[in-house]
Amino acid sequence: MRKTFLIIGCLLAVIGTLSAQDYKGKGRVSGLVVDQAEKPIEGVKVKLFSLKVKSGFEVVTDAEGKWTAVWICGGSWNIDLDKSGYMPVKRSMEVSELSRNPELKTVMQKAQGPVFTEELKETLGKANRIFEQKDYPGALNAYNDILAKFPDLYILWKNVGNCYFAQEQYDKAEEAYKKTLEKNAGDTDALLAVGNCYFNRNQTEQALEWYGKIQFEKISDPAVLYNIGLNLFKSSKFEEALKYFKRSTEVQKDFEDGYYQLGLTYTSLGKKEEAVATFELFLKLFPNSDKAAQVQGFLDYLKKK
């Protein structure tokens, strides 16, 4: 039954193609796609586009790595080859309708990391939109479907983890984040996310242990610095939190939340002068902030002490 379905599908595709008539001609082109070890690659999408008539179509390589395009017009053609796990290749050739065209052999290189094809970008975009709509079970299914088709896309396990995290399933979230770390042990976001799983399970010491795996000097994302600092602050580890909040405002001079929390941390440590200076700077930088009235209240209190 499956073969019948595929044959019917192919016939329908050919009928649809021929009905357009745009690139119809007497030309025939064939190609072979292999990897660097000269082994044929099956399932490569070969997109052919005629510059003459501004139209084209797509074929797929078979088990022997071969593809064929028949009844096409002569002239210049662009040929794009694409398959997950391989670097995309762009080719061009002149097609003759009067003589035999040579076979176009293409060697595709395996990608060192995930390759984001247009198809993958579109599919991932849809999954992300589902997540943004807070349909976390739906987003989880979408991300898992992508991983089933593109297993090399290991960074997507962070998205899977985020779906579980949003549903407060921290054990499953941790497991997903660690799949990213299996491939890239230094992934800052994944390390932070595992730490957050422990923190939300009220396992503070383990959380801080994971945060400690992130090299402080290498963190340049103010949001990451802020989140680590906030978790330390909530654990009353004010001295440790202080350096993260200070660093967050150094890497982003207009980081409102960073300055606010920095002022609170100085206050908690009893460092009045530093707290006053930070809150005054906050009001200078963010006079229209929703927190401005609260910060002014902190200042008034500190200056009366």
Q: What is the pLDDT of residues 224-272, one digit of tens each?
A: 889 889 989 988 999 999 999 999 999 999 999 999 999 999 999 999 9
Task: Give the amino acid at 222.
Answer: P
pLDDT tens digits along 109-144: 887 666 667 778 889 999 999 999 999 999 999 999
pLDDT category of residue 18 using cuts at 50, 70 and 90: very low
Q: Over 50: is that where the pLDDT of 174 sits? A: yes
DSSP string, 19-70: HH-TTEEEEEEEEEEE-TTS-B-TT-EEEEEETTTTEEEEEE--TTSEEEEE
SS3 percent helix, strand, coil of the chain, rounded to 5, is: 55, 15, 30
d(CA 177, CA 194): 6
Q: How many angstroms separate the Cα of 180 from the Cα of each of 52, 143, 160, 185, 224? A: 46, 14, 10, 8, 17
Around Cβ 282, how many Cβ atoms within 10 Å? 24
The percentage of the chain sitting over the pLDDT mark of 70, rounded to a whole number, equals 91
Which positions ≥6 away from 171 have C-beta within 8 Å? Answer: 197
Give me 98's structure tokens: 């009067």
d(CA 191, CA 168): 18
Q: Which residue has the higher pLDDT, 265 or 21?
A: 265
pTM exceeding the 0.95 threshold for the entire prediction: no
Ranges of each domain in the chain: 2-107, 170-304
Is domain 170-304 annotated with CATH 1.10.10.10?
Answer: no
Q: Over 80: is that where the pLDDT of 4 sits? A: no
Indicate left, alpha or beta for 46 from its phi (over 0: left) and psi (-120 to 50: alpha). beta
Architecture of domain 2-107: Sandwich (2.60)
Q: What is the pLDDT of residue 114?
A: 63
Least confident of 26-40, 81-95, 232-246: 81-95
Which positions ≥6 away from 254 have C-beta within 8 Å? Answer: 285
Q: What is the pLDDT of residue 170?
A: 96
Q: Over 80: is that where the pLDDT of 43 sits? A: yes
pLDDT category of residue 1 using cuts at 50, 70 and 90: very low
Least confident of 84-88, 143-147, 240-244: 84-88
The answer to whether the beta carbons of residues 9 and 19 sit under 8 Å apart is no
Which backbone phi and psi does 91 adopt, to 5 degrees? -130, 170
In total, the chain counts a number of residues equal to 305
Please state the rounded mean pLDDT for residues 172-200: 92
d(CA 166, CA 135): 10
Least confident of 167-171, 215-219, 263-267, 280-284: 215-219
pLDDT category of residue 86 using cuts at 50, 70 and 90: confident
Cα-based angle 62, 67, 72 (whole degrees, multiple of 5) = 150
- Positions of E strands within the chain: 24-34, 45-50, 55-60, 66-72, 75-82, 89-95, 104-107
Q: Over 80: is that where the pLDDT of 9 sits? A: no
pLDDT tens digits along 268-280: 999 999 999 999 9
pLDDT tens digits along 45-76: 999 999 999 899 999 999 999 999 999 999 99
Q: Over 90: is that where the pLDDT of 223 sits? A: no
Q: Over 80: is that where the pLDDT of 85 sits? A: no
d(CA 199, CA 235): 10
